[in-house]
Structure 1
Amino acid sequence: MASKYNGDILIVDDTPNNLRFLSTTLTEQGYKVRSVMEGAMALTVAQAAQPDLILLDIMMPNIDGYEVCQHLKANAKTRDIPVIFLSALDEVLDKVKAFSVGGVDYITKPFQLEEVLARIQTHLSLRAAQKEIHQLNSELEQRVRQRTSQLEHEIAERLQAQEKLLHVALHDVLTGLPNRAWFMKSLEQMLKQVKQQPNHCFAVLFLDCDRFQSINDSLGHLVGDQLLVSISRRIELCLRPGATFCRLGGDEFTILLKNIEGLADATQIAKDIHRELATPFQLGEYQVFTNVSIGIVLGSESYEQPEHILRDADTAMYRAKANGKACYQVFEPTMHQRAFTSLQLETDLRKALVRDEFITHYQPIISLTTNQIVGFEALARWVHPEQGLIPPGKFIPIAEETGLIMAIDLCIMRQACRQLLVWQDEGLVAQSLTMSVNLSVKHFMSFDLLEQIDNILQETGIQGQNLRLEITESDIMGNAEFASKIIEQLQNRHIQLSIDDFGTGYSSLSYLHRLPIDRLKIDRSFVMRIGEHGENTEIIRAIVALANSLGLGTTAEGVETPEQLAQIKALNCEFGQGYLFSKPLDAEATRKVLEHG
């Protein structure tokens, strides 16, 4: 039962499950909740009931959320009601449009309950503060008219109360940093100053924590909150006096650098931040590695609105994340077109999952002792209805950023397991042959991974020992404690695990020897440079020796020439994979390879 009344909220969403979940949750938190499923009714209810806050879905039939918000802001009775947009759309252009039509905040689906509650409370606090200030001012005016003897004392008390209310409304509760409202006001003032002093130079840095969602999902929100506080304290050490450092929300931060000499000052701050965050965070019993991707915009008088600067900094940040994370990117005008192209590709990706446009290609894994096929790696391929076969390097990074990679992982795993069962039933492969499937770190750290795998094994009839999961070295070592628990449960199901791209990331041997891993895959970058001169020979020899000491198998990726094959055999590598044996093939072409032995 709700302990008290906290405010009146109107929820507008055409998805019944979303309405039911939000209505139930917010009612339990003490809010009075009204809910409608379409825009026209939302306008009627808002005008009649005048709620304290509106949660508004963007994608709705007839009238979308943007148009509903425009109508609300045009009506004198509803224009002051804060609107928080809810949407599965997560691109910069969508966020900019949401703020341009009058929204005060933007929450991406699937949303985290804690984030929704925190943002609701922030904006209700701000609205309450504004009402309180208005009431206080009205009372002061009345007291002035009475000319009482206690007027000066009361004025001081009321001003102090106003200051406290504004501080609460303009600061983040968790970190104590200024919030989005404060930052946008500061940026607006900076733009006015630049208009008056064109030679004045400033910069905006947009920071997004790398792998934060995985850490939050795997270790819990309490640890996630501790990490955000620790990150903010370290970043503060890198800033010069006068810089404005804010938390926008979630794991996003912004920095406004004033009175700088030029771009070099901003990039140096970014480098200092990356160096400061490189040391692992010790959060209770957990040691966590993380850093930030940074987008940088150099301010100029050409900008008219603070939202445009934030949009460009956000765009540059996404480019930095795509370039490998833990790096920075300076905004360039051409990024607008890239952002639009990326948005279109994301839209097509979502359609592709619905239309079953993903297929699986299979690359053989060869025993270097018997020269026989002992397994296949299942690789995702996207057959676009208009563009044809789209290379993985073009769509996998966007799928990772948007979380669509999890659905793609399951799609490929399901296809590969079904195909393996067909080949087993037809006698084309041995019962011991394994199917290797790549797994995104987002999926590996998800709470329902084991349940999803169990469902696929049961649905396809494949045994656990025939499935091998591949995840990159840095993804495992970045959260080794949680990874070890998942891997042990996979081992209980007799599912094998390979560390992919071994040697390219960072390794912790103290963790590596404790994890029940079956195989190390030597990255193709080492194999490609073996050559006739034997480059990288010692690195591969060390990896093989390490694997042997830990009782692990080794697979060399990217074997393309007889010389490379001879070298890896001489180094006692057990398995090989690459174009020398076969390129990745679709199911029918792979069948022909199996039929001809």
Structure 2
Amino acid sequence: MNNTQLNSFGGNILVIDDTPDNLRVLSASLMGRGYQVRCVKNGAMALITAKKAPPDLILLDIKMPEMDGYEVCEKLKADVHTREIPVIFLSALDDVFDKVKAFQVGGVDYITKPFQIEEIVVRIQHQLALRAAKSKIEQLNAELEQKVQQRTAQLEEVIGKLHQEIAKHKQTQQKLLQQSLHDALTGLPNRTLLMEHLQKALQRSQRNKNYLFALLFIDLDRFKIINDSWGHAVGDGLLIAVSRILKGCTREADTVARLSGDEFAILLEDLKDFQDAIAVAERLLDKLISPIHLEERKLFAGASIGIVFGATNYQNGTELLRDADIAMYRAKALGKGRCAVFDREMYAQTLHLSQIETDLRYALDRQEFLLYYQPIVSLATGKVTGFEALIRWQHPEKGLIYPGDFIAIAEETGLIVPIGEWVLREACQQLCIWQQKLPPASSMYISVNLSSRQIKQFDFVDKLAKILSDTGLDGQNLRLELTETMLMDRGEKTIELLSGIKAQKIQLSIDDFGTGYSCLSYLHRFPIDALKIDRSFVSSIDAQGNNCEIVKTIITLAHSLGIKAIAEGVETSYQLAQLRNLGCDEAQGYFFSQPVNCHLAEALLPKYN
């Protein structure tokens, strides 16, 4: 323990000595070491000073006139205000008798004169440390005693309530069990309890082949819209109302459970026929498509229901719930507001899609994507004015996969963003290569389809600028294709986005025009360069020139806005001739060329140019 630590126990010292030199030496030495020192020359003054402002320690000389040190110490120890102050005697008397007497009257230490100041300091430090330790022990003992008293009182209270607590214990256990197996909001069984009931149903079906059961997986179609529009309180109220509807459409023996969010499940037991399960599902759909009255609101929830029939090939409830979930998603894919019965083909398709998603996550890193190019031809000159870049996936096991088999999954998972960025960079790079090799390519453009997720990226415009900078392509040689739905989805924000793109001289076209949400009211405000006529309108043109009305209207609209009209899906000469007659500016389709790799696309240029 160092000096600093010992000094921290206290530092107010009273020195009592009738010799001025001793007082001066002790005072200077101790104050130099950080102690506060008071000095008195006689016993009477010492008693008054110690009582008025008790010091942490007293250094007391024995031989003094009128009242010696022994008497002073006895009086200090007799006073309740000063009895705990440690007293160290300082004396020239070195006889054992004197030392014994010093300790008998209450002294804690004895230092013989002539003294060494270092010895005094060390002994002071030790006594102060002992006093601090004693004080701490007394404090701890007092606290312990208080705690013991408190604890004793608490124990007495606990003992008094013990019988009452024992009576409540079973009730609490029952409540906890209820909470652990039931949904807090609706009071319905939760997933855990449903799984227990499913397992029992499976075991029963394995023992009794005549026992039939089915599982319904229910997902509300419009819950998210209602919850986001009206708030969580209304959303919770809707879930409670739906739970009552489900209970009202089932029997007491059936299990209606809430799985999570807006997902519910119903275990139908002891069915006479599996058609009974379908009948229950249809009854539920009728109820849920009707308005649900919640306070002053009419809410339309709607639902999609997946149905799986109990069978002995199932090993556990998890497999049943999985297949019911798959069937529910099939119902949603078919248009919502309906039910679908699970079959093995659904499971195989789900596994396939799951594998596609997994492989898709590695495809970019493994450089499995490639671009095909379809020429876009001027109907006035017959020359190639540009190419549309179309992605393909060269899967190591499945071979060439077309975008229709993976783009939807990429959109759903968000992978479309890095994939789309790769397509843009690769397409721009390829056109630059052609421009360096082939003079006719200098005026051509490359057309790239965008996804809704891409344009919602906050830094999309900055990424475009970087791609143009990195590849060296002039912005006017790039054309981006968006759908009507994408443009209308963001309203005014779309105009701001398009302005940022046009600032880089990039061309813009609306793809599949006429098939999405109408944007006629906004069209004149969008800085668009071309409308692409959807192939469905072009394919309806026959050899006699019939069914041209929509195509003609789109071409007229484009020209009235001062922009180009481009036809997609041109496959026959009479379609081409009719498009020329109608004044269509450009066209693409199998009549000119199917999408081809970069080498074959490059070989097409001399043919048309």
Pick aligned residue for 2:277 from 258, 262, 280? 262
Q: Which of 346, 351, 376 is matched with 1:335 structurally?
A: 346
Question: Does 2:537 match 1:537?
Answer: no
Secondary structure at the aligned position of 2:600 is classed as helix
| Structure 1 pair 199–341 and aligned structure 2 pair: CA distance change class (3 A) | closer
Call closer, same or farther: CA 1:572–1:405 in 2, change over 3 Å. same
1:368 aligns with 2:379: yes
- Provide TM-score, normalisation by structure 1: 0.59
Task: Supply the distance in 2 between the matched residues of 1:446 and 1:545 (Cα, whole angstroms).
Answer: 34
Deviation at 1:417, TM superposition (A): 0.2
| Contact 1:297–1:309 (Cα < 8 Å) also in 2 | no
Question: Which residue is 1:198 aligned to?
Answer: 211
Deviates more, 1:328-337 or 1:186-195: 186-195
Displacement, 1:356? 0.9
Unpaired runs of 5+ residues, structure 2, are: 1-154, 250-255, 270-274, 293-300
What CA distance in whole angstroms lies between the structure 1 residues aligned with 2:374 and 2:599? 13
Residue correspondence of structure 1 range 231-380 to structure 2 within 5 A = 240-242=245-247, 246=258, 248=260, 253-256=263-266, 261-263=276-278, 265-266=280-281, 294=304, 296-300=306-310, 302=312, 305-317=316-328, 319=330, 329-380=340-391
| Residue 556 of structure 1: aligned partner | 567
Choose 349-358 or 474-483, whichever is displaced more.
474-483
Aligned AA (1:297)? I
Name the CA distance, whole Å, in 2 between partners of 1:144 and 1:299.
Answer: 57
What's the CA shift for 1:296? 1.1
- Whole-Å Cα distance in 2 between the matches of residues 309 and 547 of structure 1? 54
Match of 2:532 in 1: 521
Matches within 5 A, 1:15-414: 146-148=162-164, 170-171=183-184, 182-186=190-194, 188-189=196-197, 192=200, 195=204, 198-199=211-212, 202-206=215-219, 240-242=245-247, 246=258, 248=260, 253-256=263-266, 261-263=276-278, 265-266=280-281, 294=304, 296-300=306-310, 302=312, 305-317=316-328, 319=330, 329-414=340-425
Question: Structure 1 residues 166 and 188 mapped into 2: Cα distance closer, same or farther (>3 Å)?
Answer: closer
- Paired with 2:257 and 2:496, the residues of 1 have a C-alpha distance of 37
1:262 match: secondary structure:
helix
1:444 to 455, 465, 485: 455
- Note the C-alpha offset of 1:501: 2.1
- Identity, in percent, stands at 38
- 1:408 deviates by 2.0
The answer to whether the aligner puts 1:565 opposite 2:573 as a matched pair is: no
SS at match of 1:397: helix
Cα–Cα, structure 1 residues 343 and 520, in superposed 2: closer, same or farther, change >3 Å? same
- Please list every run of 5 or more consecutive structure 1 residues that lacks an aligned counterpart in the other structure: 1-138, 216-221, 278-290
CA contact (8 A) 2:216 2:266 kept: yes
Contact 1:295 1:331 in 2 (8 A): no
* SS, match of residue 392 in structure 2: strand
> How many angstroms does 1:579 deviate by?
0.7
Shift of 1:387: 3.6
Kindly provide the CA deviation profile for residues 73-97 of structure 1, in whole angstroms up to 9, marking residues without a partner as x.
Answer: xxxxxxxxxxxxxxxxxxxxxxxxx
Question: Residue 234 of structure 1: CA displacement?
Answer: 7.3
Is this contact kept in 1: 2:513–2:532, CA < 8 A? yes
Alignment check: 8 A CA contact 1:424 1:430 kept: yes
2:402 maps to amino acid: P
Residue pair 1:238, 1:272 contacting (<8 A) in 2 also: no
Contact residue 190 and residue 259 of structure 2 kept, 8 A = no
TM (normalized to structure 2)?
A: 0.58
Mark the CA change 1:554 to 1:231 in structure 2 (over 3 Å): closer, same or farther: farther
Q: Deviations over 1:545-576 (max 9, x none)?
A: 44344444322110000111122233333221
Residue 594 of structure 2 corresponds to residue 583 of structure 1: yes
Contact kept? 1:177, 1:245, Cα under 8 Å: no
1:355 is paired with a residue whose SS is: coil
Query: In structure 2, what is the Cα distance between the partners aligned to 1:451 and 1:271?
Result: 50
Please tell me whether the aligned partners of residues 417 and 435 of structure 1 are also in contact (alpha carbons under 8 angstroms).
Answer: yes
The alignment yields a C-alpha RMSD, in angstroms, of 4.5
| Equivalent AA in structure 2 for residue 298 of structure 1 | V
